[in-house]
Structure 1
Amino acid sequence: MDDNNAKAERDRRGIQSVEVGGQLLRALAHAGRPLPLKDLAREAGMAPAKAHPYLVSFGKIGLIEQHEASGHYGLGPLALQLGLIALQQADPVRIATPLIADLAQRIGHTVAVAVWGSRGPTIVRIEESPAAVHVNMRHGTVESLPGTASGRLFSAYLPAEKVRAALEEERAREKTLGLRTQPGMPPPKPLPRWEDFEPTLAEVRAHGMSRSEGAVIQGVSAMSAPVFDHAGHMVMAVTAIGPSGVFDTRWDGELAQALRECARAVSQRLGAR
């Protein structure tokens, strides 16, 4: 038996009863609340008489507990401990890295991951476009809050006081450095004040993602989708960047849908519901 066949054989091996019982745990996790035996068995796709022995065994090791008053079954203390440990070990960037590689291949554009750093949204991972045309980006680049898709996304979902302070710092840096004009481009617009920025943030929240069209570099557009953790806090932005002429910025376009799916997959791995 060659190595590939041996690996396939190992992957097929398992204990079927564990996999069957796991359907009950999956059903409880999906429901998000304790369930009576009949409902739990139905959600797991099995008869109550078949489900009950699994629940007894799971109860003995703490994966499931039965509430005395109602008789409903819920997740037990061991399940809670395992969940907390999994959340502690979850690394959003590590989880996202293979997914953005697949995403870049699917959509044909460069995909970047940004997290909130000491100076604002910061690029920490880049997956280059498979197409011949590339958008030049660097790890460690700090994104403008009002001027980029990822910046607008963080601004819409982070606490307002944090974003407002970061925007004032960015405005102060702009005032110190002055507005720099790139060759062949019109002078950049001054950064908006907070009250002028708020309508843009409302649009981002309404669509659940953000976009920019030639805002930073002429002829380059971007769309960004948020990643949330188990507490509902935004922890990362997944952003696609490409030439405006072939970049679909429609809110309901295929590119937007692919971005949402990727961000949702990472969020689910982090415990977001």
Structure 2
Amino acid sequence: MQSIEIGFRILDYLRTALRPVPLKMIAAGVGMSTANTHYYLVSFQAVGIVRQDETGCYALGPYALKLGMAAIEQFDVFTTARPIMADLANTIGQTIFLGVWGNRGPTIIYRVEAGGTRPILELRVGSVLPVLRSALGRNFLAHLPRELSEGYIVQALADENARSIQNKDDTPSNRDGLEEMLAAIRKAGVSRCRDALLANFTSLSAPIFDQTGFMIAAITLMGPTGSIDDSLNGPIAEALRVRAREVSQSAGWEQ
């Protein structure tokens, strides 16, 4: 077991080096003798996990690439997030949603009810949420490439300006206000929406990223306004950030 752990220390060093590196540098980086490090590298070369270039430097080999691609193909955000969402619902005591960016925008694909809470009947699996008036939608707007979201932004801002009655919430109605809100979401690592989607309800949403840093989903909590701490630096927001980060790391994302 110890030899496997040592071997993975060497592989992890090669992974983070981002370029072929000489034997002495690898040995120094993992805190081993050059002779012992070379022994592991030869074994890894034999199975294709490590390769040696014409200068004598070492890098990850073709079989390491195959392993990485297989891991990406086998990753399922729903399967990974489901037990984490159940734990959050039980710990925090509120409804938890998993949302993705579907062909019509932010879409709920899974939900977990906390015991003893009133089900939020207005939001079901398959519900498509507004991009500006939901924490899930705001989260995606903050992180998706603008070419994917611009059409939704233009329409949402037009809808806000067409409202005959302005709601008393924090939904922006102009481009400057929108950009300020999205920058704040990226800085906080979580989005919030109070009373804009459903009256007297607040929600927090934390993003999930894949190995390239692309946002693929979000874990969102919703509960009655005033009954939960929805501050961006509070314990609930931090719990969402931490647990969403766990899912992202399972997908190969590194901050």
Could you state the TM-score of these two structures normalised by the residue count of structure 1?
0.79
* Structure 1 gap segments, 5+ residues each: 1-14
Seen in structure 2, the aligned counterparts of structure 1 residues 36 and 189 have a Cα distance that, compared at 3 Å, is: closer
- The Cα of 1:204 is off from its aligned counterpart by 1.3
Match of 1:147 among 119, 122, 133: 133
CA contact (8 A) 2:169 2:195 kept: no
Seen in structure 2, the aligned counterparts of structure 1 residues 243 and 47 have a Cα distance that, compared at 3 Å, is: farther
Q: What is the aligned partner in structure 1 of residue 201 from structure 2?
A: 220
- The Cα of 1:172 is off from its aligned counterpart by 7.4
* 1:82 and 2:67 correspond: yes
* 1:62 and 2:32 correspond: no
* Structure 2 gap segments, 5+ residues each: none
Match of 2:221 among 225, 240, 243: 240
Counterpart residue type for residue 149 of structure 1: A
SS in 2 for 1:230: coil
CA distance in 2, matches of 1:241, 1:269: 25
CA distance in 2, matches of 1:74, 1:222: 45
> Larger deviation: 123-132 or 21-30?
21-30
Match of 2:237 among 232, 256, 260: 256
CA distance in 1, matches of 2:124, 2:216: 20
Give the length in aligned residue pairs: 252
CA distance in 2, matches of 1:166, 1:238: 21
Q: What is the aligned partner in structure 2 of residue 163 from structure 1?
A: 149
Seen in structure 2, the aligned counterparts of structure 1 residues 135 and 180 have a Cα distance that, compared at 3 Å, is: farther
Counterpart residue type for residue 139 of structure 1: V
- The Cα of 1:26 is off from its aligned counterpart by 3.0
Q: What does the per-residue CA deviation read over 1:93-148, in whole Å, with 9 as the maximum and x for residues that have no partner?
A: 22212221222223222211110011110000111123434434310111111111
CA contact (8 A) 1:100 1:111 kept: yes
SS in 1 for 2:229: coil
CA distance in 1, matches of 2:92, 2:171: 33
- The Cα of 1:164 is off from its aligned counterpart by 2.1
> Larger deviation: 244-253 or 17-26?
17-26
CA contact (8 A) 2:134 2:197 kept: yes
CA distance in 2, matches of 1:251, 1:31: 35
CA distance in 1, matches of 2:253, 2:141: 20
CA distance in 2, matches of 1:39, 1:242: 53
* 1:25 and 2:11 correspond: yes
Seen in structure 2, the aligned counterparts of structure 1 residues 53 and 189 have a Cα distance that, compared at 3 Å, is: closer
Q: What is the aligned partner in structure 2 of residue 112 from structure 1?
A: 97
- The Cα of 1:205 is off from its aligned counterpart by 1.9
User: Where do residues 3-14 of structure 1 align in structure 2 (5 Å cutoff)?
Assistant: none
* 1:201 and 2:186 correspond: no
Q: Percent identity?
A: 40
Counterpart residue type for residue 211 of structure 1: R
CA distance in 2, matches of 1:106, 1:26: 34
SS in 2 for 1:231: coil
CA distance in 2, matches of 1:189, 1:55: 57
Q: What does the per-residue CA deviation read over 1:218-255, in whole Å, with 9 as the maximum and x for residues that have no partner?
A: 22111111111122211111111112223222222211
Match of 2:78 among 86, 93, 96: 93
* 1:210 and 2:191 correspond: yes
Seen in structure 2, the aligned counterparts of structure 1 residues 254 and 28 have a Cα distance that, compared at 3 Å, is: farther
Match of 1:126 among 91, 100, 111: 111
What is the CA RMSD across the aligned residues, in angstroms? Answer: 3.0
